[in-house]
Amino acid sequence: MADTITIPKPFDPHVHGRDGAILRTVGPMTARQCWGAIFEPNLVPPITSVDQARAYRERIYFACGGEGSFEPLVLAYLTDDLDPRELARGLAEGVFIGAKFYPRGATTNSDSGIVDVTRLWKKGSRQFDLIRALTDHRRVCQLHCELNHTLDGEELDPYDKEAYFFQEVMPRLMEAHPDARFSCEHLTSKEGAEFLFEHGSWNLGCSITPHHLLFDRRDMFRGGLCPHFFCLPVIKRTEHGEALLKLIAYGRPFVYAGTDSAPHDRRKKESDCCSGGMFSAHAAVELYAQVFEGIGLLEGRHFPEFLSINGPKFYDLFPSEETVTLVREPWTVDSMIQYSENPEDVIVPIGYHPDPEKRLVLNWKLRTA
């Protein structure tokens, strides 16, 4: 195998930049590796208006250097109160690249999410009209593909939430909105992979994170409960990761990278109510390279298509003509990420461990100018 790999500059269609000091710290990490990214709208308060979206894009732009070499894109947060006309205006003006569906209470800052998922396929409802607005403008609705309860109100096991979504929700959504464009975000399950393999198209795609490919649920419990491996959707058994790798290996154009990089203050992870999410923006390209090397697909078309081509095309964007180069150079993440002058304000990135012997060894390093 060659000692360098050069690919088109990647695009990240799913990243959490947060806001304020955290955004100013983590935003440049994504901008260093990617020509553009879609920043999730689950702020507090959520991004539900054109004015909010414009202001957030501007904050991201300046946090990432403000030099025009990085393009931040934002989504509207679908809520029960969002006016379909406001969504349509933002889509028409190019302020929203699409919108995001969160089931209420399913993940970080999802308290404003849709309460009753069935209203998404009930004609005449506001929620139905939100999907119609996206369809009319040929824009993508990102889906957090989980429910906390069945359609009959029974609480779901956390390891079954995604499987249930693909069994009961996706078929109804696709039947009610046959021309809509959906992206199933951070796919984690065998059931989801099988659904995408059978039904995936230019109207139905999926993003896959590096952490759901590199780890399985044993990692969260090895040596005691490890809160920094807790994310939503939860990491599952090895068989589910293998199904995701198999889906990637088929090389379908509707399967693409999406880090779901989710920074949380260490204290929120190591607390009595652990926040869900894993931070990967510090080494996103290197983490994906680790995955592809492990399945023998780092050289050839699969890696650049997954990381740099398929995602932009699904969102009707042009892949970058710039390139990035990876060099074979083993390294480890040797420190946490401090995001303010307070030494206690830190984020624990994927790969870091206070014991140097337990740190993840990454085989490739991104070469930067």
Residue 248 · residue 210 · CB < 8 Å: no
- In a 3-state reduction of DSSP, which class is residue 347? strand
Look up residue 249 and give its two tokens.
């290996």
Can you name the residues that pair with 15 across neighbouring β-strands? 39, 261
Catalytic residue, from 260, 272, 334, 345: name it: 260
Contact between 37 and 11 under an 8 Å Cβ cutoff? The reply is yes
Nearest to 165 by CA among 142, 180, 179, 184: 184
For 117-158, give the secondary structure using H, E and C.
HHHHHCCCCHHHHHHHHHHHCCCEEEECCCCCECCCCCECCC
- Order of all β-strands in the sheet with 4-8: 4-8, 323-332, 361-367
Residue 199 CB partners (closer than 8 Å, separation 6+): 170, 174
**Catalytic annotation on 260?**
yes
3-state helix, strand, coil in the chain (%, to 5): 35, 20, 45
CA neighbor of 51 nearest in space, from 69, 19, 26, 76? 76
Question: What does DSSP assign to residue 5?
Answer: E
Amino acid occupying residue 225: L
**Residues 6 or more apart from 307 whose CB is under 8 A from it?**
7, 10, 256, 257, 285, 288
- Residues with a known catalytic role: 260
